Amino acid sequence: MTKFLPALYFIHHVSWLLSCVNSLDPTLLPRMTFTQDEIALKSVILPGEIRTLLHPERDHGKLMAVGKRHLISLSFLYPPKTPVERKLLWAECPDTAASPNGCSYDVVLAHEREDASRVFVCGTDGAKTLCCDMNPSEDPPTCIPADDLESMRGSIRNFILKDAEHSALVESETSSSLYVTYSGSQEYVGVHKFGKNRVGPANHDKEQHYLGLVTSRRRDEPLQDKVYAFYKERNKDLNEWSSAWLPYVSQYCMADMGGPKNNLQFTWTSQMSARLLCGDPKSKQHFFEMVDIATVHAEQWQDTRVYVLFRNEWNMSAICVYSSQDIQDVFTNSPFKGTHNQRGRPRECVSDSTHLSMDVLKMTQINSEMEEWVRPIKKSGPLLISHHMYTHIRADAAFTKENTLLFLTRNCGGVDKVLESKSAAFIIAEYRPFAHRAHIDSIIHHPSSKKLYVSSRTQLVQMDVADCDHYGDTCEECVLARDPYCAWDGTGCTVATPTSDGVVQDVNSGNYHLCSSLPSHHITKVVNRSTMPEVAVALPHGHRYFLPCPVGSRHAHYSWHHDDGGATPCAWSPHGCLLLINGKREGAYTCVSEERGFSRVLARYAVHVTGSATSTRPSFWLCALAALIRTIT
């Protein structure tokens, strides 16, 4: 008996693991999981470092990337093609045969312009910076100064841009402006504006790391156009209970010209900052470290939403949603932090900040932080709290005003597709685009094609995130998916469009009972699995055997039923739902899934015991146990 104690101890812990798995609330998990072999994806090997991926407008089989010194043409068409690199030339710095190394500018940032044929690019050689326009379709691509960039080129020439910073290009017919972040703890940390007016941050001793810029344009009141910067700041007031980082949002008026000569000249006069609150008072979980942001712009500036990804000290993640109106309300109505109430300080943007009074400028230098914090929409808690460590967030609300789709990248290389519905999160699916653990460097979403582009250090993957037939071959399964991209059209789960008519879809609640109201010609034409033929299994007497059952939704409950009336619950695993049977119990076995009242038969077996009794060696149990462990890990 002693020699079996390790195995029994191991079995005890496996049972404990199974009990933990079963105790998890399945609705907090992705409903479906799709590996690279199960989703429609294409990939290319990246030839080098990528700065920016340009959105494909016409040919979704091709993609243009801006590299360090080259434009890179990437093809997802078959047969595979080697990426084509074309060196980027700078018109202001000719690279001639006499001086082949005289123009060594590295691209730092790139923006697609309103004119789709042009791309705005800035590069630096470590001593000065050039910004210009290029046409990606030209060969060779040449960066040429544009008329609306004239004032910007002069103000940015002697400023050295940093890699991996955030920027926003605000275009106008006469003079465009560029807003750029500068993170760290050294000089120049903050937000810088280059254009007709050069404006930057005041000197300070704070360590700040910027996660994104959001522009807020007002068609009816352009003087009040603003830029919001989201960043995390190192906490100087540390104790054993405090967080190392604090989340902030700052406001800047686009019309800000800086102060008069010798008093905040070329320095922001409109900057105000406020803390962001993200936490769940009930569970006392609070999140302070900002990780990334995604913006959903609206027709009315007040309705623009910013989805902020947070992390806490336990590497748990949370998403909090803020509206432009709520942010503006704090900057308009909150008192300033500290004893200085700063009465008389303007809260709105002014047409000429160089004419502000000395008293106002003095108040600006004393303090610009608000007393009140910006709270999430409707003063709610986080939209989502997860034990996964998410690294990027992207949003798509182009298909509906009521719902937003979020794409969250995991630190191990997966991507979660999350639906925001009625201020609650529903994790539709997890995508695993890489064959191995990978760190995702960037992610972009192309709404019109419903393609997601995910890049690691060496690979770029194109995923079709509207591959609807993977949800199942029945109307009920399609509706239960709650995917805004998908609907049941009477014959299958297919891509939904704004003009789709006569389809069944219920994104908010997944009410599959709507399928029963379909006319007879819309009834699904699939095999009735409850009457599917049984698979015959001949099992020698005394032997053991695993009966497999395919699984899909993690929100469903799976169970095995025997014709004698017995039922055995089965835990979901990527390898299916397995039932270990012995050679003493023959008969009919049926695997059934049940999700929110919708049941279907997934597998049927007829087990027949043959032969005489034989002994089963202990080694068999170890092999069987190993197989079971693999299915749950």
DSSP labels, 492-532: SEEE--TT--S-B--TTT--GGGGGGS-GGGS-----GGGP
Distance CA 325, CA 210 (A): 22
Residue owning tokens 């709270």: 375
Contact 66, 442 (CB under 8 A): no
Query: Contact 409/443 with Cβ under 8 angstroms?
Result: yes
User: Tens digits of per-residue pLDDT, 268-297?
Assistant: 999 999 999 999 878 888 999 999 999 999
Contact, 56 vs 76, CB < 8 A?
no
% helix / strand / coil in the chain, to the nearest 5?
15, 40, 45
H or E element that contains 620: helix 618-632
Distance CA 69, CA 66 (A): 8
Q: Map residue 268 onto helix, strand or coil.
A: coil
CA distances from 257 to 216, 266, 364, 368, 607 (A): 18, 7, 14, 17, 83
Counting as low any pLDDT under 70, the low residues of the chain are 1-27, 56-60, 95-102, 240, 339-341, 400-401, 520-531, 612-633
The pLDDT, as a whole number, for residue 25 is 57
Q: Which ranges constitute the DSSP H helices of 83-215?
A: 150-156
Task: Please state, as a whole number, how many other Cβ atoms lie within 10 Å of the Cβ of residue 177.
Answer: 23
Question: Mind listing the pLDDT tens digit for each residue in 154-190?
Answer: 999 999 999 999 999 999 878 899 999 999 998 999 9
What 3-state class would DSSP assign to 228? strand
Q: Which domains does the chain have, with CATH numbers?
A: 172-387 (2.130.10.10), 471-522 (3.30.1680.10), 529-632 (2.60.40.10)
Provide the pLDDT for residue 102.
Answer: 60
Query: Which pLDDT score is estimated for 426?
Result: 96
Q: Work out the burial of residue 72: count CB atoms within 10 Å of its CB; fewer than 13 is exposed, 13-18 middle, 19 or more buried.
A: buried
Residue 249, both tokens: 């949002």
Nearest-angstrom CA–CA distance, 33 and 431: 6
Residue position matching structure tokens 């991926």: 53
**What angle separates helix 5-23 from helix 618-632, to the nearest 10 degrees?**
20
Residue 62 Cα distances to 54, 55, 71, angstroms: 10, 10, 13
Q: Which of 579, 576, 575, 574 is nearest to 590 (CA)?
A: 579
Q: What's the CA gap between 246 and 312, in Å, rounded? A: 11
Q: Which residues contact 501 (CB under 8 A, 6 or more apart)?
A: none
Distance CA 431, CA 420 (A): 18
What is the token pair recorded at 563? 């014709």
275, β-bridge pairs? 248
Q: How far apart are CA 474 and CA 530, in angstroms?
A: 14
Instruction: Return the structure tokens found at 276.
Output: 């962001």
189 Cβ contact list (under 8 Å, min separation 6)? 182, 183, 201, 204, 206, 207, 208
- Which residue, among 29, 102, 39, has the nearest Cα to 471 in the 3D structure? 39
CA distances from 245 to 188, 202, 499 (A): 20, 21, 47
Sign of CA dihedral 159, 163, 165, 166: positive
- From first CA to last CA, the distance across the chain in angstroms is 29
Residues 546-588 have pLDDT tens digits of 999 999 999 999 999 998 888 999 877 777 899 998 877 889 9
Residue pair 213/166 in contact by the 8 Å Cβ criterion: yes
The model carries a pTM of 0.89
